[in-house]
Amino acid sequence: MTKPNLQIALDQNTLAEAARIAHLAGPVVDIVEVGTILELQAGQQSISVLRSMFPDKIIASDTKCADAGSTVAKNSKDAGADLMTVIDSATIPTMKSALSVLDGIQVELYSAWNWELAKEWKKIGIKQVIYHQSRDALLAGEVWGKKDLDIVRGFIDLGFKVSVTGGLNIDTIKLFEGVPVYTFIAGRAITGQSDPKAAAEAFQSEIKKYW
Amino acid sequence: MTKPNLQIALDQNTLAEAARIAHLAGPVVDIVEVGTILELQAGQQSISVLRSMFPDKIIASDTKCADAGSTVAKNSKDAGADLMTVIDSATIPTMKSALSVLDGIQVELYSAWNWELAKEWKKIGIKQVIYHQSRDALLAGEVWGKKDLDIVRGFIDLGFKVSVTGGLNIDTIKLFEGVPVYTFIAGRAITGQSDPKAAAEAFQSEIKKYW
């Protein structure tokens, strides 16, 4: 089974802080994500800075695009992003519009999806989804469990590459053993540590244990 | 019936272009919106610049927040926003988290809402929604009609202030006659005109004809 990627979600409030963390942990990860918070705070420059820092890595722009798909995708692509997120409640025309500019469109799953819709996404050319435990849901006490894994497997069975995110840490990786996850996305479990590089390395070692 | 507000949606790719248009048309409108595209491009600064230009107007931050509600709301509020959007597929904990920081949270309606959910939003303290014809849906040929008005009325009957947006122009305002719309949000119909100030004035006159 292919080793899942490790993606670092940079959701800092300033580009300076995001660049500090990326400078340390970026070389260890496979995908560098410009998080929604960072992008709303620092703008398109946050994508171009991270693209310049890591010319050989995959750069993800977490716009959670809901409308004006081609414009948002063009702006992300122009700044150097390979991947861009759209929200699950975006319309099919919005997703098509984004796909017309950037092949690497990922649908981020919140509360608006169902299996029929997922099949429609597949049909229009969406190849990736992000299964997501909301940070606020986690704070409200929800946790990873069998229900989540069944959904992840369901999307993989439909042919999607599935990234997982939301409160992941070293201890939750093993829950996915045997599941061909495409990417683990970690935020604070790397960015919130005193040694972000060591934290990223620990994630990579843990992933390699099971895949 | 109270005159609906006129809101200008600034969805330019650069802050310079948005400031140019706001400088001309801003004094005429009631609410100045920092659009999603602008915010993703120019960052938080786009909110603070428009706040400074229009200290006495309502400033809306169109983040379409899907997660990390309190962080995104705090960043919008710190920059001077009075209103902020959350996406309909955000979870209830995310909406509560945003409301804990900023009272003026507006749910933007895409494809994830239903009437039961709307009642839940009301219960947690959401007072405003934005009914939305997606730009991409409009490009795909969908138009304003009775179906839309019935939904707008439904939300008003539930006690929400309802803003409407998506391909509005001078000719579509009259379709809403008799409906106590809270705000008409216009984008390109103002920002795309050679004289944005005159276009905004024409909107205000047209609104006054019917309310």
The Cα–Cα gap between A135 and A116 comes to 26
Indicate if the pLDDT at residue B82 is higher than 90.
Answer: yes
Percent of chain A with pLDDT over 90: 88
**Chain A residues closer than 8 Å to B45 by CB:** 43
By three-state DSSP, how is residue B158 classified?
Answer: coil
Hey, what amino acid is at A153? Answer: R
Measured CA to CA in angstroms, residue B177 lies from A198, B66, B142, B153 at distances of 62, 33, 21, 12
For B11-21, what is the mean pLDDT?
Answer: 98
More confident residue, B33 or A138: B33
The Cα–Cα gap between A104 and A123 comes to 15
Hey, what amino acid is at A35? Answer: G
Residues in contact with A147: Cβ distance below 8 Å, sequence separation at least 6, in sequence order: none
Extract the tokens encoding B204.
């205000």
Per-chain mean pLDDT for chain A: 95
| DSSP, residue by residue, A148-161 | HHHHHHHHHHTT-E
Helices (H), chain B: 15-25, 36-42, 45-53, 69-78, 92-99, 115-124, 135-139, 146-157, 170-173, 188-191, 196-210
Predicted pLDDT at B145: 80
* Contact between residue B83 and residue B128 where contact means Cβ atoms under 8 Å apart: yes
pLDDT in tens, B191-202: 999 999 999 999
pLDDT in tens, B149-192: 999 999 999 999 999 998 899 999 999 999 999 999 999 999 99
Closest approach of A169 to chain B, Cα-based (Å):
18
Predicted pLDDT at B134: 63
Strand partners, A30: none
Predicted pLDDT at B131: 96
Nearest CB to B67; choose among A41, A43, A135: A135
Predicted pLDDT at B137: 66
Q: What share of chain A is helix, strand, coil (3-state, %, to 5)?
A: 50, 20, 35
Contact A68 B136 (CB under 8 A): yes
Indicate if the pLDDT at residue A94 is higher than 90.
Answer: yes
Closest approach of B40 to chain A, Cα-based (Å):
5
Contact B36 A67 (CB under 8 A): yes
The CA angle B122-B127-B132, to the nearest 5 degrees, is: 100
**Chain A residues closer than 8 Å to B36 by CB:** 66-68, 72
Residue B113: closest C-alpha in chain A = A112
* Contact between residue A23 and residue A196 where contact means Cβ atoms under 8 Å apart: no
Contact A110 B43 (CB under 8 A): no
The Cα–Cα gap between A61 and B10 comes to 21
Q: Which CATH superfamily is domain B5-210 in?
A: Aldolase class I (3.20.20.70)
Numbered residues of chain B with Cβ closer than 8 Å to any chain A Cβ: 11, 13, 36-37, 39-46, 63-64, 66-69, 71-72, 75, 87-91, 93-94, 96-97, 108, 110-112, 132, 134-137, 139-140
Predicted pLDDT at A69: 96
Indicate if the pLDDT at residue A81 is higher than 70.
Answer: yes
Predicted pLDDT at B38: 98
pLDDT confidence band for A13 (50 / 70 / 90): very high
Pairing status of strand A83-87 against strand B31-34: unpaired
Task: Kindly list the domain boundaries of chain B, sorted by start residue.
Answer: 5-210
Nearest CB to B71; choose among A37, A87, A112: A37
Nearest CB to B135; choose among A40, A67, A75: A67
More confident residue, B172 or A47: A47
Contact B40 A72 (CB under 8 A): yes
More confident residue, B146 or A70: A70
Per-chain mean pLDDT for chain B: 95
Percent of chain B with pLDDT over 90: 88
Indicate if the pLDDT at residue B135 is higher than 70.
Answer: no
Q: Give me the sign of the Cα torsion angle B112, B115, B118, B120.
A: negative
Indicate if the pLDDT at residue A59 is higher than 90.
Answer: yes
For A194-202, what is the mean pLDDT?
Answer: 98
Indicate if the pLDDT at residue A27 is higher than 80.
Answer: yes
Total residues belonging to chain A = 211
Hey, what amino acid is at B149? Answer: L
Predicted pLDDT at B9: 98
pLDDT confidence band for A132 (50 / 70 / 90): confident
CA-based nearest residue to A57, from A85, A79, A83, A31: A31
The verdict on ipTM greater than 0.85 is yes
| DSSP, residue by residue, B160-196 | -EEEEESS--HHHHGGGTTS--SEEEESHHHHTSS-H
Predicted pLDDT at A135: 64
Hey, what amino acid is at A61? Answer: S
Extract the tokens encoding B106.
């507006």
Predicted pLDDT at B147: 85
Indicate if the pLDDT at residue B132 is higher than 90.
Answer: no
Predicted pLDDT at B140: 72
Residues in contact with A32: Cβ distance below 8 Å, sequence separation at least 6, in sequence order: A7, A8, A10, A22, A26, A50, A53, A54, A57, A58, A59, A60
Cα B149 to the center of its chain, rounded Å: 17
Predicted pLDDT at A206: 98
Indicate if the pLDDT at residue A183 is higher than 80.
Answer: yes
pLDDT confidence band for A210 (50 / 70 / 90): very high
Strand partners, B31: B7, B58
Q: Give me the sign of the Cα torsion angle A122, B135, B5, B85.
A: positive
The Cα–Cα gap between A107 and A111 comes to 12
A44: which DSSP letter?
Answer: T
* Contact between residue A76 and residue A99 where contact means Cβ atoms under 8 Å apart: no
